[in-house]
A and B are shown apart, each in its own frame.
Chain A
Amino acid sequence: MKKEIITFSRIPKIVSYYSVVGNKEHSGPLGACFDEWCEDDKFGKDSWEKAESEMQRRALAGVIRKANLEDKDLDVILAGDLLNQCVGSTYGLADFNVPYLGLYGACSTCAEGILLSSCLYGGGIVDVCGAVTSSHYCSSERQFRFPLEYGGQRTPTAQWTTTGSGAFIIGSEGKTSVKEALVGRIVNKGVSDINNMGAAMAPAVIDTLTRYFNESQHSPKDFDLIVTGDLGYEGSEIIKDLLLGNGIDIRKNHVDCGLMVFNRDTQDVHAGGSGCGCSAVVMAGSIVPNLEAGILKNVLFIGTGALMSPMTLSQGESIPAVAHLVHLSSDLGG
């Protein structure tokens, strides 16, 4: 069988990580874990798009500061967001003067960024690589749904775009290793309901996890956590159910970033959080710190993205999805 899982001869480490969030995320269950937050979600700017860019700027500046590096130490940054032509990243990161590659992977962008950074480092192409992602509720609502002040009702399967930006630096120094990675395939199972993205993305996760466990020596119980970002409640239930049918039981150790970032009972987010920023801030705020502290030993992180545009949706197309996997491992103990 063809080997699909990527492994690295030079092991990439997570050097540093940083999260910036909005008010609602700061009021959520992980509120205290984030490095920076903004009360009015505007980050001192006069448009939502500028606010998102500012969030990314702060995240990258923060992660560089935290790693005791300077801008010029970065060999390349990989960044993406949900806005058309990835303008959240380009406008936010223009001032850093660092070689830049834009990514679009919708909610999978964080995993895609870590995966590609690891490949660039692991392949010996660069020594220090930044990965930044963001999403902003207000800017993506404007782009994908309705004007902010429009009075609409959400269905229970809808997800709430996270306002947040997470940044990571991949390099040689760090206590968290990127052991393996697996690039997702585009999977489209015909779901066309933008208010049920979890169901649209779940088949991609099932595809990626099934491929991973078929090839890997590991089984689900070898991992402290299997983190998906962000399937929300609907998608999480679907993958647990359907993977069990494939003989892969992840019911005990599965968590979802969309379910971690908000409290579904009190925060009126329906099926949970979504957006590029969701998994980025949960990874940077909670999962990676716990790996670094040795509380978690082995984590599978699967970033899931719904790759549609408002145009294809209005033309009646169903939603294609992708899920990228990275295996993170703590260097402490274990």
Chain B
Amino acid sequence: MDKKEYIEYVEARSKKSPIIQNLIRAFLIGGAICSLGQALLELYRLFIVELKDAQALVSITLIAIAILLTGIGIFDNIARVAGAGTLVPITGFANAIASCAIDTKSEGYVMGVGAKIFSISGPVILFGTFSGVIYGIFYYFITMFWG
């Protein structure tokens, strides 16, 4: 059996993730997080006029909740069930940052926490910012030529 045949053999027989169950869980938990966000948004809108500011505050609240749950060691248990349901909302980003920070404190606060806090979330910030710059360049020149 050569490499290619072996990999095909392994893939054909390996136990697959329970996709339907995973999808349902991701939908329910991800949806629940977003509607919690919406409820918070409606609440904040009573005090905050600017929609953008209220949205930012919603993100911050969800981030705070996710980081607290990460700290007390519950988030990973929820995520084990939720999969993409906790990964895709901003909670996954917050968990990535907090888990890296907590995990590396034994290596010190500068080169441990400080450097490694970005080890999972860094790519999101880098490529998000970079694609924003590319968009900005297009937007700038298009508005310049089209008035």
Contact = CB atoms under 8 A, between A and B. Distances in A.
> Per the CB under 8 Å rule, do A and B touch in the complex?
yes
A265 B41 CA distance: 42
A238 B79 CA distance: 30
Given A156-B15, A196-B10, A150 B96 contact: yes
Contacts of A142: 103
Interface of B: 1, 3-4, 6-7, 9-10, 13-18, 22, 70-71, 73, 75-76, 78-80, 82-83, 86-87, 92, 95-96, 98-100, 102-104, 106, 120
Contacts of A151: 70, 75-76, 78-80, 82, 86-87, 92, 95, 99
Given A154-B80, A189-B3, A190-B7, A149 B14 contact: no
A234 interface: yes
Interface in A134-157: 142, 146-157
User: SS class of chain B's interface: helix, strand, loop or mixed?
Assistant: helix
B86 A156 contact: no
A52 B83 CA distance: 30
Nearest to B26: A153
A47 interface: yes
Q: Which 7 A-B pairs have the closest CB atoms?
A: A151-B79, A147-B103, A190-B3, A149-B99, A147-B99, A150-B99, A156-B15
B106 A152 contact: no
A148 B103 contact: yes
Contacts of B103: 142, 147-150
A199 interface: yes
Given A189-B7, A238-B10, A156 B17 contact: yes
B139 to A, nearest CB: 35
Contacts of A148: 76, 99, 102-103
Nearest to A192: B7
Nearest to B91: A151
